[in-house]
Amino acid sequence: MHMIRYAVFGHPIAHSLSPRIHTAFGHQLGIDVRYAAIDAAPEAFVEALERFAGDGGRGANVTMPLKEAAFALSAQLTERARRAGAVNTLTRVDGRWHGDTTDGAGLVRDLTARHGLDLRGRRALLLGAGGAARGVAPALLDAGIAELVVSNRTPERADALADALGEPKRAHSRYWDDLGNLGEFELIVNATSAARGGQGEFSLPFSITTSRTLAVDLNYGEAAIPFLAWARAANCRDVFDGLGMLVEQAAESFALWHGTRPDTDPVYATLRGHSAVLVTSD
């Protein structure tokens, strides 16, 4: 009989805090959680996942650049994963993987429940159209934002995401080079991996912000520094990194697998204490 295992798959994955978060949730609730980080390049992902299942793998989180591949291999999907076209949580059921996405719920919970912000009625700009952007877009619409503009370096992916959302009046794509002509946004979400690997500045026109803008980077740690520096320079009112979302999406996955929801506050506080990036909010 294999021991029940959990893991996060990604490429690269060495930076992942997920093993620490899930282990801390387990300690809190008296559950012995075996949770590892497994590096899998896209071409090796399916095989690595099957090997993991054979070794007792019962649940897997999936991060960049594998979320769309996880969607494609899921035998069953939740409604929110189907709308997102991306999967970050896989659960083994009767020898098959069931796919869900907890990214969007994690982001909205962090912004509303932890930081007390109201997203309703905001005009929003989503930068990026990869797995994370796909995961958060439907949840932002469900949270009551007025409009969602999706912009991506590769415009076809932004078009595909906007189309998949199926709300042409509220959600549409625009060219990145055109950002300066799109007016002001009260919510700007950076869902790109542009600053990973130590790439310098984040240069966006200040004209897209107002003094009421909430700017959120899904990245955390050093990868969040360029966008957060830009947002502060643009005088955005609230500026957050993705650490809170990371903890909340993990709690959502944990609840799916273990049937009980951990208290995220102590785990968030511990990680925040070690994080290099400060968040600011009036």
Q: Which positions make up the binding site for shikimate?
A: 16-18, 63, 88, 103, 220, 249
* Active-site residue (options: 67, 92, 109, 134): 67
| 35 three-class SS | strand
In this chain, which of 124, 129, 139, 231 binds ligand NDP, going by CB under 6 A? 129
Exactly one of 8, 21, 40, 133 binds ligand NDP (CB under 6 A); that residue is 133
Site string for ligand NDP, 247-276 (x = CB under 6 A): --x---------------------------
Pick between residue 44 and residue 93 the one whose CB is nearest to ligand NDP: 44
19 binds ligand NDP (CB under 6 A): no
State the minimum distance, in angstroms, from the CB of residue 97 to ligand NDP.
18
Instruction: Kindly give, in sequence order, each residue whose CB lies less than 8 Å from that of residue 136, ignoring residues fewer than 6 positions away.
Output: 103, 104, 107, 126, 189, 191, 218
The DSSP code sequence of 120-131 is TT-EEEEE--SH
Span 190-209, contacts to ligand NDP by CB under 6 A: 191-194, 196
Closest CB to ligand NDP among residues 97, 220: 220
Binding residues for NADP(+): 79, 128-132, 152-157, 218, 242
Q: Is 242 in the site for ligand NDP (CB under 6 A)?
A: yes
User: Residue 58 contacts by C-beta under 8 Å, 6 or more apart in sequence?
Assistant: 4, 5, 6, 91, 92, 257
- Give the gyration radius of the chain's Cα atoms: 18
Q: Does 157 bind ligand NDP (CB under 6 A)?
A: yes
93 DSSP β-pair partners: 96
Integer Cα distance of 43 and 227 in angstroms: 31
Angstrom distance (rounded) from CA 165 to CA 129: 12
Question: H or E stretch including 20?
Answer: helix 18-29
Which residue among 131, 138, 226, 262 contacts ligand NDP (CB under 6 A)? 131
Q: Which two tokens stand for residue 72?
A: 């494609």
Exposed, middle or buried, 42 (CB in 10 Å: 0-12/13-18/19+)? exposed
At residue 134, φ and ψ (nearest 5 deg) are: -60, -40
Range in contact with ligand NDP (rule: CB under 6 A) among 27-35, 69-77, 126-134, 167-175: 126-134
Tell me the residue number closest to ligand NDP, measured at CB: 130
146/229 with CB nearer ligand NDP: 229
C-alpha distance across the termini of the chain, in Å: 54
Binding residues: 16-18, 63, 79, 88, 103, 128-132, 152-157, 218, 220, 242, 249
Residue 169 annotated as catalytic: no
What is the contact surface with ligand NDP in residues (CB under 6 A)? 63-65, 67, 103, 106, 128-133, 152-154, 157, 191-194, 196, 218-220, 223, 242, 245-246, 249
Active site residues per annotation: 67
